[in-house]
Amino acid sequence: MDHILTGLDLLLEDPTPIGRRPWAMLTNAAAVTAGFAPGRLELARLAGSPKLLFAPEHGLEGVAQDMEAVDDTTDPLTGLRVRSLYGTSAATLEPKARDLDGLEAVVIDLPDIGTRYYTFAATMDAMMAACERAHIEVIVLDRPNPINGTGREGGLIRPGFESFVGRIPTPVRHGLTLGEIALLLQRERYPALELTVIPCRGWRRSLWLDETGLPWTAPSPNMPALETAILYPGMCLVEATNLSEGRGTTRPFKLIGAPWLDGARLAQELRRRQIPGVAVRPAWFRPAFGKHAGQICSGVELTVTGRQVFRPVAFGILLLSLIRRIAPETFGWRPDAYEFIETIPAIDLLTGDDRVRLLIEAGEDPLELIAAWDGDVSDFEQQLDDVLLYPG
């Protein structure tokens, strides 16, 4: 087993990058040491207590559901004021100037899961923008990409489709760490920002989290396990429909279905295609909350059997395309606002433009678009030489 240390563990060994300056921290409860100790508490003991904490979507404790507004609060571990960066409007996604007043550094430690629309990187981007304006250093404590740093998939965001789930300029599955995303953002958007990234020690891009010896800690309520994170780049697309993505069950993003869906037929259609890396079985479930709460849903359960060959984004698009063909009269797109945007369908925000939606609505095969995305990924990879921190 490789002996790997995160940026947090290394900063705890030598907290001099913080020094005796006034500082704050953007973090959550999943940011722990290799020994499961809360990072914010350990840093407060060694580096002097931060002035305040900032928390991303799901709150400092990581218990709020998706798109659930979180109020400012007080951290029970440190007694510090916690400023929520996910409230009731898009304006709450940005730190306020008064919250940064008097600071000289903001430390960021957020366990990301390697997918563009997982919103922690977007919150980091908002913090970087605010710190550049305020002339405050940003210190990113890096962590391994849990679904490895080599797999990339999905298209880029086209102009006009930017949102909180489409804020960072990467493919859907980006294969980067949060520290590498910070370097990319500095190059593309914030050249005047003073940025320090404390890289992991010993991580290689080919390693998955369960090969590192580091603990899995759920960064949000519906991300309970590494397998969930592997499925998420594709199964998050189900959020953009009237299907349940398994929220309200113990297997979010593994269970997909609806009361009106013929799950046995869907499983048969998927198995017939012999899709590499994933096993499919018909399943029935009853969400306790979320879409179709209290109703028995028919659908499928997904199990990752070959994570090296599984392409979750392509699978997610194929899944929606098949369901649309099986149930054209009942399948539909999410009708309500998504991440504070009402004028653009959620599926367009997630995929980066309207092409997936239009192809599915027309009953056309999305394979050509998926192949075109592979070209976008290749172009993206050509621009990463100055941001990649780790060997293969």
Domain residue limits at 287: 226-353
Looking at the DSSP assignment, which residues form a beta bridge with residue 74? 81
Q: Quick check: is 1 in a domain?
A: no
Q: Quick check: is 28 in a domain?
A: yes
Residues 255 and 296 in one domain: yes
Residues 181 and 272 in one domain: no
Residues 87 and 129 in one domain: yes
The answer to whether the predicted template modeling score (pTM) of the entire model surpasses 0.85 is yes
Residues 60 and 83 in one domain: yes
Q: Kindly report the length of the chain.
A: 392
Residues 131 and 61 in one domain: yes
Instruction: Please list the ranges in the chain whose pLDDT falls under 50.
Output: 1
Domain count, the chain: 2
* pLDDT at position 80: 96
C-beta atoms surrounding 174 within 10 Å: 27
Q: Quick check: is 285 in a domain?
A: yes
Residues 163 and 29 in one domain: yes
Q: Quick check: is 375 in a domain?
A: no
Residues 38 and 102 in one domain: yes
Phi, psi of 163 (to 5 degrees): -165, -175
Is-contact 77 41, C-beta < 8 A?
A: yes
Q: Quick check: is 392 in a domain?
A: no
145 in the Ramachandran plot: left (φ > 0), alpha (ψ -120 to 50) or beta?
beta
**CATH assignment at residue 176:** 3.40.50.12170
**CATH assignment at residue 311:** 3.90.1150.140
Looking at the DSSP assignment, which residues form a beta bridge with residue 298? 258, 284
How far apart are alpha carbons 332 and 344 in whole angstroms? 15
The residue from 196, 217, 238 where one domain ends is 217
Residues 46 and 69 in one domain: yes
347-391 pLDDT, tens per residue?
Answer: 999 999 999 999 999 999 888 899 999 999 999 999 999 999 999
* pLDDT at position 2: 54
How far apart are alpha carbons 327 and 72 in whole angstroms? 43
Q: Quick check: is 61 in a domain?
A: yes
Output the DSSP codes for 203-248.
Answer: --TT--GGGTTPPP--SSTT--SHHHHHHHHHHGGGGGBSSB-STT
Residues 189 and 246 in one domain: no
Q: Is the torsion defined by CA of 277, 282, 285, 290 positive or negative?
A: positive
* pLDDT at position 122: 98
Buried b / exposed e across 286-307, counting CB within 10 Å, b at 16+?
A: ebeebbbeeeebbbbbbebeeb
Is-contact 325 288, C-beta < 8 A?
A: no
